[in-house]
Amino acid sequence: MAADARPPRIAFIGYGEAARAFLAGWRSEPDFAAQVVAYDLKTDGPDATRAAKLADYATDGVGAAMTAHEAVAGATLVVSVVTADQAHAAALSVVGALAPGALFLDCNSCAPQMKVKSAERIDASGGRYVDVAVMAPVHPRLHRTPLLISGPHAEAAAPVLAGLGMSAEIQPGPVGASSSIKMVRSIMIKGLEALICECVLSGRLAGVDDIVLATLEDTFPGFDWPKRAAYMLERVMTHGIRRASELREVALTVDLLGLDGRMARATVDWQQEIGDLRLKASDHGADYRSRADAILAALGKHAQTAE
């Protein structure tokens, strides 16, 4: 790790799954010694919510900041990992407090047009905004999860991320280039999850799920539909609320391109409805049938067959 690529102080805006995964990965690197501070909106919430987030900081050895300004003071690298609907607000929250030349990594899944607006405010305040698209789940690869970075400061950010052991590829183009790829890709990835939910749940209610998946396997050999269905149901059960937030940004992206993001909006409905059930997939086995039946039971419906 080159000395000039080691940020002495890193600030997280938002401290959830992604932030904790990145930090765990960084700490596995041999020379990681940065001071890490975090601010999360949950510390402004009810006592129990606030206490739980402060406990996360303590467990991870992270400095607890009570405001975004406090978190970024003196930080040379700021990593924004909040929910999609809070991405622009998170950028605005650090304006006026960033150290001159601080890199601001916007890792949030939001419309590229919104990232352009955030970049204008960050750069005008003396920071250096970088559009970051996180291209895979942060587990199990942690800080080595593939990233695309774009914008005028991507070249400056690349060696810093490499110094942290991260897997970032520069996507040529302005701010929004990386996010456009992520948003358009999500139409398919999250949309396929929603299609699986509707197909499998309907199949269970009709008692024909096994036949349907067998015919799909015949049409698309090698996909392993039962295994994929179990995985995608788990993804929606675990992350549906966050995915719904992202898909709203995807729909906006499509709308602003002059098309109608109707598929993305339909995907929002399934992601939100199942996410709102707050089911823990690991409590319901690893088979798609048991997971589907848990979802149906929570919705007040029951499959025709019992496996």
Q: Quote the pTM value.
A: 0.90
Q: Indicate the fold that domain 3-173 takes in CATH.
A: Rossmann fold (3.40.50)
Euclidean distance between CA atoms 295 and 224, whole angstroms: 21
Does residue 300 register a pLDDT over 90? yes
| pLDDT tens column, 52-93 | 999 999 999 999 999 999 999 999 999 999 999 999 999 999
Select from 43, 101, 44 the least CA-distant residue to 74.
101
Identify the pLDDT of residue 302: 85
Identify the pLDDT of residue 303: 80
CB–CB of 180/151 below 8 Å? no
Cβ neighbors of 278 (< 8 A, separation 6 or more) are none
- Which carries the bigger pLDDT value, residue 303 or residue 26? 26
Identify the pLDDT of residue 226: 97
CATH 1.10.1040.10 fits 178-298, yes or no: yes
> How many Å from the N-terminal Cα to the C-terminal Cα in the chain?
53
Q: In the chain, what are the domain boundaries? A: 3-173, 178-298
